[in-house]
């Protein structure tokens, strides 16, 4: 049976200095490529401009919009060469990588100017960089929402109980649609909630207030209201809660962030309680969290950079003490050993950055990459045999259908077999692509790995401090810090030898217990 054609689009951009790549010449060449590959061209994007430096090309912008459109009916993008996108050498591979993440194969009519090994390594770098880009883009979004809060508007979400949303048009976007923001105004529940919060701020037990006022909501809902005390004091508050963790619970092991990280804009809507009452409520709630903070420190889940990794040679954990120190003590010991968190963190991270650029680390990582990417001779062999079996069944069923008076049931059977064969063909394509990537990675060199590490370290240094913990946990299995000699051994997830004396001029010295 004839294989259905895939839909494709083409992107054309004129060039002043190359007569062989006029729009007409590009169109002819790309139509030839489409014919050779059995593709159906369903759309064309054209920019009759001379420069590839401007991203504000109407054809290119239309292409970008359609790439993200849920109604896109094509999976192949054809271009003459990398320079149709940009004069920069690596823009083409980067664009192709991003398109592939969205299910689009980008095909350049001319041969790429990059060997296959470099392409695979670049893909690995781009995979890491996309994580960094996501984090930085998220930070930009956070900054924009902070500005929204500082202007007195809500940062999204429904109104807390006792308020309702009032929508305000603040302007229009390019297509003329209104930009709508929201503020809070009291609802019919406001008087009851105000009485509840004022009583709680005065120290009346929660259960008694709920009973005396005949509060119809659950105690857990009332606790959430108390945590929103600043909102009820007339302030717009944002950046309060931590993100949920896919593994369960919340990132940072706590539902709410420290109050110092909250974004607060005062006097943005009518208040139900005073600021004094609000802070009194928050202080009462936070005073009940001391035991929880101690528990987190013991489990290594605190905000300290090295907790969970930093251990004594006998296996005891160095814990954060809540006062910017690491502390180590035995059961029943009163004083223990104390080290300034800043000194330890700087010494360890400095050594870590030094190590990952060392020849020993690069060689170990190269060897590990080759080990992890060991490949079979033909991992898709069994899948292709299954495809051949389905093909034979389809051929036999097709012959039989021609002999039947009512071929309908047999045609339905053929369609089922075709669907199964298509799934296997897609799996073969994925397996072969992965096999090729692993084959190329088996040829990775120390120099390639060194360049990847330089790129990663440069970008990770720009990340917020809390992201460093994720990086360190990915590289390090444990860190042994001897409380007597202050010798420190970093045990990496790849085998290299290192040792750091923290009593050296790096500035780490033991402290007397505070």
The yes-or-no verdict on residue 462 having pLDDT over 70 is no
Q: Are residues 361 and 465 in the same domain?
A: yes
* Number of residues that this document lists for the chain: 514
Q: Which pLDDT belongs to residue 430? A: 77
Last residue of a domain, one of 288, 310, 345: 288
| Residues of the domain holding 340 | 302-368+448-501
Q: Is residue 510, in this structure, part of any structural domain at all?
A: no
Q: What is the mean pLDDT of the chain?
A: 74
- Which residues does 114 contact at the CB level (< 8 Å), separation at least 6? 89, 93, 122
pLDDT at 386: 87
| 140 within domain boundaries | no
Helix segments in 104-213, DSSP class H: 116-150, 190-201, 206-212
pLDDT of residue 290: 36
The pLDDT value given to residue 291? 36
At 81 the pLDDT is 76
Tens of pLDDT, residues 296-312: 433 334 467 787 788 88
Q: Say if CB 410 and CB 404 are below 8 A apart.
A: yes
* Contact in structure between 310 and 481 (CB atoms under 8 Å): yes
On whether both 381 and 459 belong to a single domain, the answer is no
Helical segments of 68-115, H only: 91-101
- Our measurement of the distance from residue 443's CA atom to the centroid of its chain's CA atoms, rounded to an integer in Å, reads 29
Confidence of residue 171 (pLDDT cuts 50, 70, 90): low
**What confidence category does residue 90 fall into, taking pLDDT thresholds of 50, 70 and 90?**
low
Does residue 149 sit within a domain? no
Whether the pLDDT of residue 489 is over 80: the answer is yes
Average pLDDT over residues 394-411: 78
For residues 458 and 473, give the distance between their C-alpha atoms in angstroms, rounded to a whole number.
Answer: 18
As a whole number of angstroms, the distance between CA 501 and CA 482 comes to 9
- Angle (nearest 5°) at CA 130 between 129 and 135: 95
Closest to 148 in 3D by CA, of 182, 174, 172: 182
Measure the CA–CA gap between 39 and 76, rounded to whole angstroms. Answer: 8
Q: Is residue 40 part of a domain?
A: yes
HEC string of 238-290 equals ECCECCECCCCCEHHHCCECCHHHCEEECCCCCCCCCHHHHHHHHHHHHHCCH
Give me 60's structure tokens.
């290119």
Q: What is the pLDDT of residue 172?
A: 59
Helix axes 408-441, 381-403, angle to 10 degrees: 160
Looking at per-residue confidence, does 504 or 61 come out higher?
A: 61
- The verdict on 357 and 391 lying in the same domain is no
Q: Are residues 248 and 363 in the same domain?
A: no
Helix (H) or strand (E) holding 409: helix 408-441
pLDDT of residue 501: 47
Smallest Cα–Cα separation from 497: which of 339, 379, 312, 364?
A: 364
Reading phi first (left if > 0) and then psi (alpha if -120 to 50, else beta), residue 162 is in left
Among 75-84, 269-278, 491-500, the minimum mean pLDDT is found in: 491-500
Tens-digit pLDDT profile for residues 444-461? 777 877 777 776 666 655
Inside any domain, residue 251: yes
195-208 confidence digits (pLDDT tens): 999 999 888 888 88
pLDDT confidence band for 159 (50 / 70 / 90):
confident
Task: Return the pLDDT at 10.
Answer: 94
Which pLDDT belongs to residue 135? 45
Reply yes or no on whether the pLDDT at 193 is more than 90.
Answer: yes
And the tokens for 171? Answer: 């302007």
Within-domain flag for 227: yes
Of the residues 114, 132, 149, the one at which a domain ends: 114
The pLDDT score that the predictor gives to residue 60 is: 83
- The neighbour count for residue 313, using CB atoms within 10 Å, is 13
When pLDDT is averaged across residues 86-102 and rounded to a whole number, the result is: 67
Residue 78 lies in a domain: yes
Percentage of residues of the chain with pLDDT beyond 70: 66
Rounded to whole angstroms, the Cα distance separating 327 from 304 reads 12
Q: Are residues 254 and 387 in the same domain?
A: no
Average pLDDT over residues 169-191: 74
Give the β-pairing of 310-311 and 476-481. Answer: parallel
> Is residue 465 located within the same domain as residue 363?
yes
**What is the distance between the terminal CA atoms of the chain, rounded to a whole angstrom?**
81
- Let me know whether 14 and 71 are in one domain: yes
- The pLDDT, as a whole number, for residue 130 is 47
Assign 183 to helix, strand or coil: strand
Write down the pLDDT at residue 265: 80
Answer whether residue 125 is part of any domain: no
The pairing of strands 105-108 and 319-320 is unpaired
Q: Are residues 235 and 273 in the same domain?
A: yes
* Rounded average pLDDT over 357-380: 72
Q: How confident is the model at residue 333 (pLDDT cuts 50, 70, 90)?
A: low
Domain co-membership, 264 together with 211: yes
Q: What is the CATH number of the domain that holds 77?
A: 3.40.50.1390
Q: Looking at residue 232, what is its pLDDT?
A: 93
List pLDDT tens digits, range 244-280: 766 666 776 677 888 777 878 888 889 999 988 888 8
Q: Do 318 and 202 belong to one domain?
A: no
Sign for the CA dihedral angle at 168, 169, 171, 174 comes to: positive
Based on the domain organization, do 469 and 336 belong to the same domain? yes
Domain co-membership, 221 together with 279:
yes
Domain boundary among 288, 322, 350: 288
Q: Quote the pLDDT of residue 465.
A: 60
- pLDDT of 438 strictly over 60: yes
The total domain count for the chain is 4
Distance CA 288, CA 292 (A): 8
Quick one: pLDDT at residue 194? 93
With CA atoms as reference, report the closest residue to 227 among 200, 188, 265. Answer: 200
Question: By 3-state DSSP, what share of the chain in percent is helix, strand and coil, each rounded to 5?
Answer: 50, 15, 35
């Amino acid at each position: 049976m004839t294989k259905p054609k895939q839909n494709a689009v083409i992107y054309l951009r004129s060039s002043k200095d190359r007569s062989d790549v006029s729009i007409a010449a590009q169109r002819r060449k790309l139509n030839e490529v489409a014919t050779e590959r059995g593709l159906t061209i369903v759309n064309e994007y054209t920019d009759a401009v001379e420069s590839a430096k401007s991203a504000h090309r109407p054809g290119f912008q239309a292409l970008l919009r359609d790439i993200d459109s849920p109604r896109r009916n094509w999976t192949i993008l054809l271009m003459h060469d990398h320079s149709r996108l940009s004069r920069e050498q690596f823009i083409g591979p980067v664009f192709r990588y991003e398109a592939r993440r969205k299910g689009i194969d980008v095909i350049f009519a001319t041969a790429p100017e990059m060997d296959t090994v470099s392409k695979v390594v670049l893909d690995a770098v781009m995979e890491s960089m996309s994580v960094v880009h996501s984090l930085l883009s998220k930070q930009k979004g956070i900054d924009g929402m902070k500005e929204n809060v500082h202007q007195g508007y809500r940062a999204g979400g429904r109104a807390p109980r006792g308020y309702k949303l009032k929508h305000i048009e603040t302007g229009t976007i390019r297509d003329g649609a209104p930009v709508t923001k929201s503020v809070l105004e009291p609802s019919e529940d406001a008087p009851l909630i105000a009485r509840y919060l004022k009583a709680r701020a005065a120290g009346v037990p929660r259960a008694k207030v709920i009973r005396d006022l005949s509060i119809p909501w659950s105690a857990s809902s009332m606790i959430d209201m108390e945590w929103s005390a600043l909102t009820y004091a007339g302030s717009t508050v944002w950046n309060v809660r931590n993100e949920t963790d896919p593994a369960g619970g919340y990132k940072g092991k706590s539902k709410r962030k420290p109050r110092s990280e909250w974004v607060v804009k005062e006097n943005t809507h009518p208040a139900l309680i005073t600021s004094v009452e609000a802070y009194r409520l928050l202080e009462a709630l936070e005073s009940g969290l001391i035991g929880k903070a101690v528990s987190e420190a013991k489990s290594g889940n605190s905000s300290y950079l090295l907790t969970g990794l930093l251990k004594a040679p006998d296996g005891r954990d160095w814990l954060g003490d809540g006062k910017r120190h690491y502390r180590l003590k035995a059961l029943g010991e009163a004083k223990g050993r104390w080290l300034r968190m800043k000194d330890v963190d700087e010494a360890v991270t400095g050594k870590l950055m030094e190590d990952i650029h060392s020849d020993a680390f690069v060689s170990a990582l190269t060897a590990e990459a080759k080990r992890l990417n060991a490949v079979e001779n033909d991992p898709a062999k069994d899948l292709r045999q299954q495809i051949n079996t389905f093909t034979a069944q389809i051929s036999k069923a097709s012959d039989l259908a021609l002999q039947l008076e009512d071929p309908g049931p047999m045609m339905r059977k053929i369609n089922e077999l075709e669907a199964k064969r298509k799934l296997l063909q897609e799996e073969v394509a994925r397996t072969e692509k992965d096999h090729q990537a692993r084959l190329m990675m088996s040829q990775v060199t120390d120099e390639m790995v060194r360049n990847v590490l330089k790129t990663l370290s440069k970008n990770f240094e720009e990340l917020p401090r809390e992201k460093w913990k994720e990086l360190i946990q990915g590289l390090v299995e444990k860190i042994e810090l001897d409380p007597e000699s202050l010798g420190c051994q970093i045990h990496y997830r790849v085998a290299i030898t290192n040792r750091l004396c923290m009593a050296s001029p790096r500035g780490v010295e033991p402290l007397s217990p505070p």
